[in-house]
Amino acid sequence: MEMMRSTKDFWSGVLYILFGSGALIAGRDYGMGTALKMGPAYFPSLLAALLILIGAISVIRSFFVQGTPIGDFALKKLAFVVGSVILFGAIIRGAGLAIALPLLAIISARASSRFRWTPSIVMAAGLTVFCILVFLKGLGVPLPLIGSWLGG
Amino acid sequence: MDLFANLALGLSTAGTPVNLLYCLIGVFLGTAIGVLPGLGPTATIAMLLPLTFGLEPLAALIMLAGIYYGSQYGGSTTSILVNLPGEAASVVTTLDGYQMAKQGRAGPALTASAVGSFFAGTVATFLLAVFAPPLADAALKFGPADYFSLMVLGLVASIVLAQGSLLHAFGMVVLGLLLGLIGTDITSGAMRFTFGIPELADGIGFVTVAMGMFGLSEIIRNLETESERSVVIAKITSLMPTKEDWKRIIAPILRGTMIGSAMGILPGSGSILGAFAAYSIEKKISKNRHQFGKGAIEGVAAPESANNAGAQTSFIPMLTLGIPSNPVMALMVGAMIIQGIQPGPSVIAEQPKLFWGIIASMWIGNFMLIVLNLPLVGMWVKMITIPYQLLYPAILVFCGIGVFSLNNSTFDIYLMAIFGAMGYLFVKLGCEPAPMLLAFILGPMMEEYLRRAMLISRGDPWVLIQRPISATLLALAVLAMLSVLLPSFSKTREEVFKE
């Protein structure tokens, strides 16, 4: 990989090509139609081809034009933030807001390097009360307070 | 005169106690999120959009609009007092604003920024009222081919004006267009790219993408730089600028307002660009240019006027053509559609109360903002001290509940998480998500207009350049693209984004 001068260009180009070819492959059965009567695949295929072209240019360019290196990925922080949201989605109906919400608040807070248990727990508790009052009681969002897993 | 009759209608509609209340809530929230670094108007409006479903259409739009231009006011407070831009459009304000604060002149800087914003807001609201009706009239003559070309022009402009690499802005636009097509094809009824997932049949919600890409991924990015952040707030002694200050800011406010108003109409990040442009122009022509970067009050007044003017005029394409020019406007389009209003040139004629009500509310809102921002500045300063590690979990919770309530579906929560991770990855690769978001909402519209244009022309693509309006728009798009190749332009572009 010594030839590569811009890892950013290279990998974003690869992503474009992946998305573009994915769209072409997934859309191959949709029916192209004609310019007069465009089928469902007409416009997407056009775009997908364009995206692949852009990706190819980006990949080729990565070997010629010097770029800035990709910075380090904050994988741990990413995992805490994204993971806590996915967990929230997974347990919100089963466990209910009263459990899913404080879990989301506390687990996501651990992504911070300044995380401390006490303030985070206090904040999560206050936030839970606030959200129950505003979203469940006030706005009637159809979320269970206590979910079906716990007999709610 | 019609204009005054219309404005009077707007004032009487926006002036009802309920609408005034929502206007106040909007600008209050807007100021708050503007003050808080790391929470922008796009994520906030996306978060609050589900809450407006139950409101009257006008009240909902007044509030959402207030959040947007309110954030432009609030952003300057943080820029000046702690050297952190509270909002992207206030980045340049940190240059001279914070220097002034260090010299004990935070108060005059805040006043210059608020007065400039108020003046700019008033002028831009007036421009909106004057230019929107004739533009909408002209837009009524647009055929499908013209609309298609207009969107091409919009996307090209958003690429040219995007931050960072042009190639990647182009790539992100095409990717956004493709993602927008996920779901049922309206013409044929075919399911596209749904992979058998029933929740995808209606497509991916714009709000879901916006919350993921602007809410979640912003949080991760902010956490990355967390340790470098230290909040030292400058003291405010007196708010009143000196006589000399007043003299110095008049011309920059006027110029900033003009530049900002013009830039705001352009697709992409109009208000951000307007602020940059206004600052660099002042730096070139001001007779105090040697003071720039060392606490020149002109360097605060001009960009702050420009970003507020731009925030206001960016409503013009949305209200007259139904085409959003930035992610916030795309959310406004979404809000209108949810309320059963099809945004487009006919809104002025069919819903005059709504249209003029929104415009009048902006002026009322600007007035509220100057009161909220100057005498109450102490309260906002306290807000800056809220530690981010306690703030962002709350943002995540609001995003989670908000995105769920769109369709009462947990699937949207997962999608938001995926877009959050994707947004972070793209930013790391140097690809800005803003043009993608714009393309995402334009994708299905473009396909529809292209289809209709082709149907009318019997499949002849030349129709796009045979119709004069369409041809002009496409020619402009080509010119915009070619301008990038000019060495002087690309140099200016780099300079603008470097600062």
pLDDT of A107 above 70: yes
For A:11-40, CB contacts with B below 8 A are: 11-12, 15-16, 19-20, 23, 26-27, 30-31, 34-40
Contact in structure between B332 and B324 (CB atoms under 8 Å)? yes
Give which of A80, A102, A87 is closest to B216, Cα–Cα.
A80
For residue range A47-97, list pLDDT tens digits in order. Answer: 999 999 999 999 999 998 888 888 889 999 999 999 999 999 999 999 999
Separation of alpha carbons B96 and B110, rounded Å: 12
pLDDT at B238: 83
Chain A within 8 Å of B278 (Cβ-Cβ)? Answer: no
Write out the two tokens for B100. 């002034």
- Residue that wins the pLDDT comparison between B376 and A87: A87
- B175, B187, B417 ranked by CB distance to A85: nearest: B417
For residue range B126-174, list pLDDT tens digits in order. Answer: 999 999 999 999 998 899 999 999 999 989 988 888 777 889 999 999 9
Phi, psi values for residue B405, rounded to 5°: -70, -10
pLDDT of B495 above 70: no
ipTM score over 0.90, yes or no: yes
Residue A121: pLDDT band with limits 50, 70, 90? very high
Contacts of B392 in chain A (CB under 8 A): 108-109, 112
- Residue that wins the pLDDT comparison between B225 and B177: B177
Separation of alpha carbons A23 and A15, rounded Å: 12
In this structure, the number of other CB atoms found within 10 A of the CB of residue B102 comes to: 13
- Shortest distance between the Cα of B327 and any Cα of chain A, in A, equals 21
Q: How far is CA B307 from CA B100, B274, B312, B450, B489, in A?
A: 20, 6, 9, 34, 22
pLDDT at B482: 87
Q: What is the pTM of this model?
A: 0.89
Chain B within 8 Å of A62 (Cβ-Cβ)? Answer: no
For residue range B114-126, list pLDDT tens digits in order. Answer: 999 999 999 999 9
Task: Name B25's Cβ contacts closer than 8 Å, sequence gap at least 6.
Answer: B63, B66
